């Protein structure tokens, strides 16, 4: 009789179905094989939970997209921020990732709009200017008559390199460029910055 939960010498489960489930869960960010196994066993035991999770994941994958205008994660495209006439299109906040928009929206003080770069320049990792949507950024600035570009990138080497690139892109033009004051942690942590710190960094923003 086969014993699906029994693992072989390599630590793999004898049941190919269970092994496959554990492996796909372990590929999720933040989950190691141990947590993946715990979740897999829970899902097998609770059939309803498994069905719920699958249908939620399918529905989200089908409906959730990136705003074609700003890159935010959204269901309607363009997103509600881009559609709202209460948001000032002339103030454009540049962020690296769609999750970086969340602390701004949660805090609620920023009334402009966003532009998501999707990544930061990192010549050492082979991420060059041609890989980032700078052309779309240029078009957006011209189309919306943007008067201020606010750089909200973290202060890592990649963040600084990217900020410098945008600065050179706008140099000599009419667009004012500012950046958040210090206080934002280094290394992609903007999304986890608390509202008070973020607002203080925004109000204290300075010109390049
Ligand atoms: Zn948008």
Tell me where in the chain the CATH 3.40.1360.10 domain(s) lie.
73-207
| CA of residue 186 to ligand 1 center, whole Å | 26
| CA of residue 17 to ligand 1 center, whole Å | 40
CATH fold for domain 73-207: Dna Topoisomerase Vi A Subunit; Chain: A, domain 2 (3.40.1360)
Higher-confidence residue of 42 and 192: namely 42
| CA of residue 116 to ligand 1 center, whole Å | 9
| CA of residue 61 to ligand 1 center, whole Å | 18
Higher-confidence residue of 38 and 196: namely 38
Q: 172: which residues sit within 8 A by CB, 6+ positions away? A: none
How does residue 183 score in pLDDT terms, banded at 50, 70 and 90?
Answer: low
> d(Cα 183, Cα 177) in Å, to the nearest integer?
19
How does residue 84 score in pLDDT terms, banded at 50, 70 and 90?
Answer: very high
pTM, 2 dp? 0.80
pLDDT in tens, 86-101: 999 999 999 999 999 9
| CA of residue 49 to ligand 1 center, whole Å | 33
| CA of residue 93 to ligand 1 center, whole Å | 12
The residue written with tokens 């989950």 in the block is: 31
Smallest CA-to-CA distance from 156 within 200, 122, 108 is with 122
Position 45 pLDDT exceeds 90:
yes
| CA of residue 180 to ligand 1 center, whole Å | 21
**What phi and psi values does residue 121 have, to the nearest 5 degrees?**
-65, 135
Span 114-131, mean pLDDT? 94
CB 95 within 8 A of CB 72: no
Position 110 pLDDT exceeds 90:
yes
Tell me where in the chain the CATH 1.10.8.420 domain(s) lie.
16-63
| CA of residue 127 to ligand 1 center, whole Å | 24
| CA of residue 182 to ligand 1 center, whole Å | 27
pLDDT attached to residue 2 = 54
The residue written with tokens 């923003």 in the block is: 205
> d(Cα 81, Cα 84) in Å, to the nearest integer?
5
Beta bridge partners of 122: 127
| CA of residue 31 to ligand 1 center, whole Å | 31
- Which CATH homologous superfamily contains domain 16-63? RecR Domain 1 (1.10.8.420)
pLDDT attached to residue 143 = 95
| CA of residue 113 to ligand 1 center, whole Å | 8
| CA of residue 89 to ligand 1 center, whole Å | 11
Position 151 pLDDT exceeds 90:
yes
């Amino acid at each position: 009789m086969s014993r699906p939960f029994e693992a072989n010498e390599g630590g793999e489960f004898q049941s190919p179905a269970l092994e496959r489930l554990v492996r796909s869960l372990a590929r999720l960010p933040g989950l190691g094989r141990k947590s993946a196994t715990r979740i897999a066993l829970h899902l097998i035991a609770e059939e309803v939970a498994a069905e719920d999770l699958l249908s939620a994941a399918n529905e989200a994958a089908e409906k959730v997209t990136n705003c074609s205008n700003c890159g935010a994660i959204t269901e309607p495209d363009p997103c509600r921020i881009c559609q709202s006439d209460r948001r000032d299109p002339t103030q454009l906040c540049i962020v690296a990732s769609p999750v970086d928009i969340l602390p701004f929206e949660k805090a609620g003080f920023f009334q402009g709009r966003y532009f998501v770069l999707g990544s930061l320049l990192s010549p050492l990792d082979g991420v060059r200017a041609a890989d980032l949507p700078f052309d779309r950024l240029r078009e957006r600035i011209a189309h919306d008559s943007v008067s201020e570009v606010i750089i909200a990138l973290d202060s890592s080497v990649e963040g600084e390199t990217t900020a410098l690139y945008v600065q050179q892109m706008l140099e000599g033009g009419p667009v004012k460029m500012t950046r958040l004051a210090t206080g934002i942690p280094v290394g992609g942590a903007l999304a986890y910055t608390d509202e008070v710190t973020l607002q203080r960094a925004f109000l204290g923003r300075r010109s390049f």
